[in-house]
Every structure is written in structure tokens, then in C-alpha cells.
Structure 1
Amino acid sequence: MDFHIFGSDEIVAWLIIPLFIFFARILDVSIGTIRIIFVGKGYRLLAALLGFIEVFIWIVAVSQIMKHLNNVYYYLAWASGFATGTYIGMLIEQKLSIGSVILRVITSGDADDLINMLFQNNYHHTAVDGEGMFGKVKIIFMVINRQQLSDVLNIVNQYNPKAFYSIEDVRSVREGALPKVPNPAIKKIQKFKRFLTTRK
């Protein structure tokens, strides 16, 4: 790959190639992070495709390192790109909200209003009575799409702000058991209804 079209030899050696390595590493490590997540979620075809792209970019980047083994800036660009790519990959995974999660809610307070609101918003759940360290508790189990997690936690915090909850990734689930994600307009109406309910 010829970089000399971007300037003199010094500019290419000390600026252009280090920047190229840095951004190439960001790209391939970000893709690698997402690929690992896809493998865990069972998206085999997507994971294989991302793996091909990841390795191709990696080979192009490492070839520049091998040509200039005496330039320490290339090593710094490589390491910085790796760290930045890992962080960006995690941010992308959060934005994609892929897959489903198990949400467990344990509350010692009255959970009737919370359970009723979950039912009204079509969030499938199972509620059972339990015995905690300090007395009786209500335990609520839910399997929801990751996209719905924020809304469900908002409901929990509104009606039982002191409730304990835990979240766990789910590798696979029968999709028929999950409620569909409502469109943004419906979600806004539901939030407004919850606001009016808490004001009463």
C-alpha cells in the first residue's frame, strides 16, 4: 500500500502511517468485540462474516508494522488503537441492544402496583412469594428483549425504588414468549400514563 500520495516521506512515516495503524486497529478490534458478542448470542453467520473483515483489516495493519520495526510510534499507534477499539466495541454493543436478558426483581414492599403496571405494559412475568433474611418478599422473574430493559427498570424504580434486581444474559429463548417491542410513539404514551399514575 503506497502512502506517498499524502505527502513527503517524513510526513508519511511519522504521521500518515501511524494514523492509519491507529484507525485500522480501532476498526478491527471494534469488529472483533462485536464478533465475540455475536458468537455468544448464537449469530454464527454474522460472526463468521465479521471475523473475515476483522482479520483482513488486521493483516493490512500488521503489514505496516513489519515494514517499519524500528519506529516506536507505530507500536504506540497499535496499542492505542487496540484500547480505543475495545472501548468503542463495547459502546456499539450497548447501542445495538442485542438479544434477551433475565431480570429478577426482589422486593420486600408491596409489589401489587408494580405487577399491575408490568401486566398493563404487556411485560410477561412470573411472581412468587419468597422468604428473605428479614421477612417475606416478592420475587418477580422476567425474560425480556434487551431493548426493553431500560423501560422495565424505570417501572421498577418508580413503583419499588428500594427493590433489589439482577440481570443475566440469555443465549436463546423461544421468541413467542416475548412481547414485541412497541414503537416509539406508543412508548411515549405509556411513559406519560405512568407519570399521571404516580401523580395521583
Structure 2
Amino acid sequence: MLENGIVMLAIILSVNIVYVSLLTVRMIFTLKGKRYIAASVGVFEITAYTLGLGLVLDNLDQIQNLIAYALGFGLGVITGMKIEEKLAIGYITVNIISSNPDIPFTETLREKGYGVTSWYAYGMEGDRLAMQVLTPRKYELMLYETIKEIDPKAFIIAYEPRQIFGGFWVKKVKGSKLRREEEKLQSE
């Protein structure tokens, strides 16, 4: 079977897509502090890596194998990123500056289940309402849509917190209202 050139290329390409996807996912779990999951993924990652590289090294005289390996690496990066987006592990902190401090922004976000800390600020063009919202990453896009509905001119900055202690998320069941909001949006 490995004598057939096209089959060999397909195998090398596929193995490297799997390897790099696993590498990306393992790296995400490592960065999120999920060491046992990262180690488990690493076992499969190194197995795929060894298989793919072995196939290429056994056939170094075939340039197309090296090209398939490199192409598989690139496609694996894209695939791994897509998998990471779907997993959406962790939380995101979103800083929002509303163009109009009179909009009932804070109340609207809290009604939808978000934990919001807000304060009045002064910007170049006058008074503003500044807010900080913490949400599970899987609800990040839903939060952006909600913000744009409330204030299309809002200024948004998002980042991932490394540690979370106390506050809204410790006191409430994480995301229960948000799950209901997501289900409501999906049914529409």
C-alpha cells in the first residue's frame, strides 16, 4: 500500500495535519494549566509526529513527500486553530467604553447574565461609561453582538485573564443565564 505514491502523499499529509492539530490543542491545554489533559494529548501528538516524520525520512529521495509534510503542517495549524475556537476554554475579560453614559448598558448586560463592573469616565469627547465584563470564552461572540446592539459605537478591548479569584463568578452558577440566552438566540 505504501508503494503507491498518491496513497503515501495522502498518509503523510493526513498524519501531519493530525500531529500539528494535536500540538496546537496540547499547547492550549498547557497554557490553561490543564497538565494531565495536555500530557494525554501529547502522547497521541508524538505518536503522529514520529509516524509522519518516519515516512518522510524513509523516502527522502521523494521531494513530493517533503512537500506533503510541509503542506500538512500548514493545514494542521489552521485545523488546530479551528479546534481551539470550538473548545473555547477559559474566560475572556472585555473592557467596554460606551459612547453614551445614559444608555442602560450595565443593567441590560446584567439581565442577560453577565457580571459587569462599571464606572463613569471622561474621554476626549466628554463623559463615558466604562465597563468590565468577565465571561466564558464560548459566550464571547454573543457578548460582542449584545454590545453592538446596545451601542454600535462602543469601544471594546478583550483579553484573557490568567487568574480569577472571588467576585461574581464565585457567587453564581457560572454561565447559567448565559446558557439560556445562547439557547434563545439559537432557536431564533
Please, what TM-score do these two structures have when normalized by structure 1?
A: 0.83
Does the aligned pair in 1 maintain the 2:113–2:176 contact within 8 Å?
no
Identical residues among aligned pairs (%): 24
1:148-180 CA distance string (max 9 Å, x none): 212221221111110000110122324525653
Evaluate the alpha carbon distance shift between residue 180 and residue 81 of structure 1 in structure 2; reply closer, same or farther with a 3 A threshold: same
1:106-143 CA distance string (max 9 Å, x none): 11213542211112122111001112122221110011
Q: How does 1:130-141 map to 2 (within 5 A)?
A: 130-141=121-132
2:180 paired residue number: 186
Counterpart Cα distance in 1 of 2:94 and 2:87: 19
1:28 paired residue number: 19
- Residue 87 (1) aligns with residue 87 (2): no
2:117 paired residue number: 126
Counterpart Cα distance in 2 of 1:29 and 1:191: 34
Evaluate the alpha carbon distance shift between residue 33 and residue 188 of structure 1 in structure 2; reply closer, same or farther with a 3 A threshold: closer
Does the aligned pair in 2 maintain the 1:40–1:171 contact within 8 Å?
no
Evaluate the alpha carbon distance shift between residue 49 and residue 136 of structure 1 in structure 2; reply closer, same or farther with a 3 A threshold: same
CA RMSD of aligned residues (A): 2.3
Counterpart Cα distance in 2 of 1:113 and 1:136: 15
Larger displacement relative to structure 2 (181-190 or 164-173): 181-190
Pair member with larger Rg: 1
Which structure 2 segments of 5+ residues have no match?
A: none
Evaluate the alpha carbon distance shift between residue 179 and residue 139 of structure 1 in structure 2; reply closer, same or farther with a 3 A threshold: farther
Q: How does 1:6-155 map to 2 (within 5 A)?
A: 9=3, 12=4, 14-155=5-146
Counterpart Cα distance in 1 of 2:177 and 2:125: 41
State the AA in 1 paired with 2:159. E
Counterpart Cα distance in 1 of 2:28 and 2:172: 21
Counterpart Cα distance in 2 of 1:51 and 1:136: 51
Evaluate the alpha carbon distance shift between residue 190 and residue 18 of structure 1 in structure 2; reply closer, same or farther with a 3 A threshold: closer
Counterpart Cα distance in 2 of 1:110 and 1:32: 45
Which structure 1 segments of 5+ residues have no match?
A: 196-200
Give the total of aligned pairs: 184
